[in-house]
Amino acid sequence: MIVMKFGGTSVGSGPMLVRVSDIVSRAPAERVVVISAMAGVTDAILNVLPRVQRDEGAIEPFLRELLNKHLAALHDAGASDAEVVKVTQEIDALLQRFERLLYGIAYTEELTAKTKDLAVSFGERLSVRLLAGVLRTRGVPAEAVDADDAGMLTDGSFGNATPIMSAIERNLERSLVGRLRNGVTPVLTGFFGCDAMGRVTTFGRGGSDYAAAIVAAALRANRLEVWKDVDGFLTADPRILKDAQPIAEMTYDEAAELAGVGAKVLHPRTVEPLKDLHVPILVRNTQQPEVQGTLITGVASVSRNALRSAATKDGLAILKIYGPGMAYTPGIGQKVFDALAKAKVNVYNMAASQASFALLIEESDLDRGLKALESIREGTIQSVEGITDMTLICVVGRGIGSTFGTSGKIFTAVGKAGVNIEMISVGASDIALNFVVKRKDRDACVRAIHHEFLFERPAPGPTEPAHSPR
């Protein structure tokens, strides 16, 4: 049994739905398909909600556009007349429910995390019905399934839910395994589950990867295939570096470090449910199904020069705390962390010297962080300062911490590119090296590391004449 996840771009148009149907129909017969909303739909819903809250006039044009987008895709995918009728009815029923919710938001002028999660779930509820219809048109028995109906139970934190695995295992056994035995391919909504009261809870943006991993773990799948718009996990973000290369294999830990820092290709928690069960993850390209993609498992061959890939996270700030006696004041670190925790400021990274601490936090938390530290300022802490526009760079590769001279070589390459390193933490991990640069230096920094370590130039082969003689 395998789980196949297709992202928003992969199901973003009629021709893409056909492509996905072809890939699914060629896969092993026992498969569960998990998909995202069509590209742009989640963003569109999130954008319209505050407008609806102010003005109910925004509702009708929005729903009409959503309906047209899905019907056009169904049509462009060549759905049969019978499927067009069936799926159009299903979409109409969903949009009626969605309309009621939107008027509720407009009348109450209230938009909570709870209603937001319910509202965005409609993107996936719509897309699964489209793909199931297109699959059936092409002779593949398929059924759309909503994750809350299937029993994807979570802890109830809206926007950031955690699955309750034991319950999900039991529930999916009941809701999906029967369909599989009957030769039906379930097409399941990604992105969300529900709490014990049935209230919809999402796994955060990009959460369909995580949802698919939860399903693969619960069903003890042979593998999870994650189908994207890139040739696999690449050596760098292709939006930063055009010549980023696909990585053939990597380990769960490497993928988790990179995704955790911000490699958008996988939701940060995707690896979590699968690692201990040893379920392999295969990252593949919907546009190029013949490309082998990236295989993520517990073991992978050591990467060239010990480095695998680099990821970056923007929108950060450094909180600097000065005090000449800090190194001699027991408990000062605890005081600082307690104050930040109380103010709900998350610390990503830290560095310390005799007279200062530097803490890496979200830029949007900076004001709260500064206020929290002002409140504990007394003898030891002399001043507190915030520096904005920072980017975290995470370079990953097995043995990066233990391979002599690797970090030195990285910093030399970065220095040669004229980039100043604002903050470093070395030694915390054997597979990741994290440091901070100014946002404006991000691209130069990634390029320098990439060209020094990651960019595999084609091996010089035997020289061939430009025109081979016939």
Interacting stretch for ligand ASP, rule CB under 6 A, among 35-43, 68-76, 136-144, 379-387?
A: 35-43
Minimum Å gap between C-beta 456 and ligand ADP is 15
Helix axes 81-108, 41-54, angle to 10 degrees: 40
State which of residues 21, 185, 208, 425 lies at the interface with ligand ASP (CB under 6 A): 208
Measured over all CA atoms, what is the biggest interatomic distance in the chain, rounded to whole angstroms? 86
Give yes or no for a contact between 436 and 421, defined as CB atoms under 8 angstroms apart: yes
Q: Which does 154 bind (CB under 5 to 8 A by kind): ligand ADP, ligand ASP, Mg ion, none?
A: none
Nearer to ligand ADP, 105 or 282 (CB): 282
Q: Which does 37 bind (CB under 5 to 8 A by kind): ligand ADP, Mg ion, ligand ASP, none?
A: ligand ASP
Least Cβ distance, residue 414 to ligand ASP (angstroms) = 32
Specify the residue for token string 């939006």: 239
Footprint of ligand ADP on 309-338 (CB under 6 A):
309
Strand partners, 4: 33, 225
Q: Is 453 in the site for ligand ASP (CB under 6 A)?
A: no
Residue nearest to ligand ADP (CB): 7
Asked if 202 touches ligand ADP (CB under 6 A), the answer is no
Tell me the closest approach of the beta carbon of residue 62 to ligand ASP, in angstroms: 17
What CA–CA distance (Å, rounded) separates 412 from 405? 10
397 lines the binding site for ligand ASP (CB under 6 A): no
User: What is the spatial distance between Cα 22 and Cα 216, in angstroms, rounded to a whole number?
Assistant: 21
* Of 291, 311, 314, residue with least CA distance to 236: 311
Using DSSP, state whether 358 is helix, strand or coil: strand
Question: In this chain, which stretch among 57-65, 67-75, 260-268, 447-455 interacts with ligand ADP, using CB under 6 A?
Answer: 260-268
Near Mg ion by CB under 5 A: residue from 206, 260, 273, 293: 206
Distance of closest approach, residue 124 Cβ to Mg ion, in angstroms: 12
Which partner in ligand ASP, Mg ion, ligand ADP, none is near 253 (CB below 5 to 8 A by kind)?
none
**Position among 31, 51, 114, 264 found at the interface with ligand ADP (CB under 6 A):** 264
Question: What six digits make up the tokens of 360?
Answer: 């890496």
Distance CA 456, CA 454 (A): 6
Q: Does 118 bind ligand ADP (CB under 6 A)?
A: no
Give CA separation, 128 vs 48, 74, 98, 143, 236, in Å. 22, 12, 16, 8, 31
Residue 316 phi, psi dihedral angles, 5° rounding: -110, 165
Strand 223-228, strand 200-202: pairing: unpaired
**What are 416's two structure tokens?**
């040669």
Query: Is the distance from CB of 116 to CB of 158 less than 8 angstroms?
Result: yes
Single residue of 30, 229, 272, 389 touching ligand ADP by CB under 6 A: 229
Positions that interact with ligand ASP (CB under 6 A):
7-8, 36-37, 42, 123, 190-191, 205-209
Positions that interact with ligand ADP (CB under 6 A):
7-10, 36, 206, 209, 228-230, 233-234, 236-239, 263-265, 309
